[in-house]
Amino acid sequence: MKHRYTRLKLKMLLFVVVSALAAAVASIVLMELVVDGIFQDPFAKCFVWGAQTFFGQTEPEALETYQHYIRNYKQEILTAGMLLLLLISLYVLFGRIARWMEQLRRSIRQVASHPERPLDLPKELLPLRDDLDALRRQVEGQAEAVKENEQRRQDLIAFLAHDLKTPLTSVVGYLTLLKDDPGLTHEQRAKFTGIALDKARRLEELLGEFFDISRMDLDSGPEEHSPIQLSMLLEQLADEFYPLFAEKELQCAVEIEHHLMVLGDPDKLARVFDNVLRNAVSYSIPGGQVYIQAQKADGQAQVTIRNEGLEIPEGELANIFRKFYRLDAARSSRTGGAGLGLAIAKEIVERHGGGIRAESNGRLTSFTITLPLYEEEP
């Protein structure tokens, strides 16, 4: 950083040195030419005339004053002249610095109020342009972040208006039908009650996802992590999903390396794998297969969840971790979540220092999650 301002500092130092030398040379030249040189007589006559005119002295008194103050104090006059010229040079220098500071102040205000406008700085302040450009980019980034937050807020409003309203309307409709129509048969009442219960459960899931992502957006404090036996966590999760596998006649192949340890929040990491596995089940073709693999790779714990289903277009892979994004909006609005499951998973994984990515090749879609390994101290 300091090398960037070397040229400016050298220029200011050179200005001071040259000013001092110029003041010394000018004082010496004036003294030698005016007091003791070729201009001595004209200068003496002017001095005597001035003393007579302005101070009312006689010619002998004026000559005595000239001799006493000019001839006898040449060295002192020379020094005072040098100091005076040096002070004038410094005044000019400080005036230029003040102009630079004013230009810098205007540039900073411009960055704050109109970051899109190019900066106009003198060449002496060019080293500051990079810093101000970085500040301008930061301001633009903050403005963009504010815009994105506003867009997310609007997305959230749209989500609340549509996704919550649909199941809520169904619940209210079926419950109203059960209340107002006493002629319904027992089978019809059981059917409508079941539908209302399913819609209520979906409403509960949507609200749960919404509160999870909202809590993550607001919670930026440190988290407490502990060692986790990842192998056991994944095996337990696979067992819990067997009813969902059976519902779509899916086969689950599990290949997990034993004693795979990571450091993290067990509940939140369980939520990650639950969300990704639930997504795999949701988008698997009936009778397909789901693979769960976990192993050490490149010094990290790597978990891959793969399912057979429709291929995800290349352009969609970058969007599936965005909040409220759903690959199949029509189907998801009826049976799926709010498009927050993978966004929640990505947020949790990144807070644990890991990463998550998706790949789709033909009928196979894979989600790969990497987490830092936990090495026990010997």
- pLDDT tens digits, residue range 214-228? 665 545 545 667 888
295 backbone dihedrals φ, ψ, rounded to 5°: -160, 170
- Please give the residue that has the higher pLDDT: either 157 or 91: 91
Is pTM beyond 0.75 here?
Answer: no
333 — pLDDT class (breaks 50, 70, 90): very low
Mean pLDDT in residue range 112-121: 67
Q: Is the predicted pLDDT of residue 157 greater than 90, yes or no?
A: no
Q: CA nearest 283: which of 210, 240, 337?
A: 337
> 327 is written with which tokens?
């690959």
305 — pLDDT class (breaks 50, 70, 90): very high
368 — pLDDT class (breaks 50, 70, 90): very high
pLDDT on residue 37: 56
pLDDT on residue 96: 75
pLDDT on residue 120: 67
Which residues partner with 13 through β-bridges?
none
Mean pLDDT in residue range 17-33: 71
Mean pLDDT in residue range 281-310: 89
Task: Report yes or no: 301 and 371 within 8 Å, Cβ to Cβ.
Answer: yes
267 — pLDDT class (breaks 50, 70, 90): confident
Mean residue pLDDT across the chain: 76
Give the DSSP letter string of 64-123: HHHIIIIITTHHHHHHHHHHHHHHHHHHHHHHHHHHHHHHHHHHHHHHHH-TTSPP---G
- Please give the residue that has the higher pLDDT: either 248 or 20: 248
Residue-range domains of the chain with CATH: 2-113 (no CATH), 147-218 (1.10.287.130), 226-372 (3.30.565.10)
Give the whole-angstrom CA distance, residue 121 versus residue 27.
36
Supply the DSSP symbol for 34.
I
Q: CA nearest 62: which of 78, 30, 53, 81?
A: 53
1 — pLDDT class (breaks 50, 70, 90): very low
Mean pLDDT in residue range 296-325: 82
116 — pLDDT class (breaks 50, 70, 90): low
Give the CA distances from residue 90 to residues 14, 15, 23, 230, 345, in Å, rounded to whole numbers and listed in that order. Answer: 12, 9, 11, 71, 64
Task: Report yes or no: 39 and 33 within 8 Å, Cβ to Cβ.
Answer: yes
204 — pLDDT class (breaks 50, 70, 90): confident
Could you give the percent of the chain with pLDDT greater than 70?
71
Lowest-pLDDT range of 15-19, 34-38, 222-226, 252-256: 34-38
Give the whole-angstrom CA distance, residue 142 versus residue 212.
25
- Please give the residue that has the higher pLDDT: either 305 or 112: 305
pLDDT on residue 65: 74
158 — pLDDT class (breaks 50, 70, 90): low
Task: Report yes or no: 358 and 319 within 8 Å, Cβ to Cβ.
Answer: no
Q: Is the predicted pLDDT of residue 137 greater than 70, yes or no?
A: yes
Select, from the ranges 93-107, 132-146, 192-206, the one with the highest average predicted confidence (pLDDT).
192-206
- Please give the residue that has the higher pLDDT: either 304 or 55: 304
Give the CA distances from residue 236 to residues 201, 213, 229, 230, 263, in Å, rounded to whole numbers and listed in that order. Answer: 24, 25, 11, 10, 18
> 230 is written with which tokens?
């990842």
- Please give the residue that has the higher pLDDT: either 103 or 275: 275
Give the whole-angstrom CA distance, residue 102 versus residue 125.
12
Which residues partner with 370 through β-bridges?
302, 355
With the CA atoms of 59, 61, 64 and 68 taken in that order, what torsion angle do they form, in degrees rounded to the nearest 10? -130
Which strand ranges, in their side-by-side order, compose the sheet holding 300-308? 251-256, 289-297, 300-308, 364-372, 355-361
- Please give the residue that has the higher pLDDT: either 203 or 3: 203
Model confidence over 41-90: pLDDT tens digits? Answer: 676 677 778 777 877 778 777 777 766 666 666 667 667 777 777 788 77
Q: Is the predicted pLDDT of residue 302 greater than 90, yes or no?
A: yes
> 20 is written with which tokens?
């001092």
Report which residue type is found at 324: F
Q: Is the predicted pLDDT of residue 370 greater than 90, yes or no?
A: yes
Q: Is the predicted pLDDT of residue 162 greater than 90, yes or no?
A: no
